[in-house]
Amino acid sequence: MSGQYLAAIMMFFVTIGFTALFWLPALKFNQKNTLVKFYWMGFWSFLGGLSALAGAQSVLMILGQDVERFATALLFGVTAAFVLFVMFGWGRLTLKGLMTVATKPK
């Protein structure tokens, strides 16, 4: 087996390992509130997806494929979507918490 294929296989399994580590908190810690659960699962899903895309780009680059422009654009788009998702989720959860405190019976 050539060194290039061995390096690609190793990078593939490292990518699978890191992606699985990002899924572990999402599956292990259960959230009771449905809104919090949605953002909790989405946060870890995005991180897993980002690591999977970055790992796939690395594996293809090790194998000598020219994926630089497409993979970089894809990673940039997913990263921007992740930031928007986190900021929107933070704002929504903060407003929900403030509304709960404001309307709490005294």
What is the DSSP annotation of 26-51?
HHHS--SSHHHHHHHHHHHHHHHHHH
- Provide the pLDDT for residue 94: 92
Domain residue spans in the chain? 3-102
Angle, in degrees to the nearest 10, between helices 3-28 and 34-62: 180
- Provide the pLDDT for residue 106: 64
Category of 29 on φ-ψ map: left (φ > 0), alpha (ψ -120 to 50) or beta: beta
Measure the N-to-C terminal CA separation of the chain; round to a whole number of Å. Answer: 72
Name residues of the chain where pLDDT drops below 70. 1, 106
Rounded CA-CA distance 24/54 in Å is: 19
- Provide the pLDDT for residue 9: 92
- Provide the pLDDT for residue 97: 87
pTM above threshold 0.85: no
- Tens of pLDDT along 84-98? 998 998 999 899 888
- Number of residues written out for the chain: 106
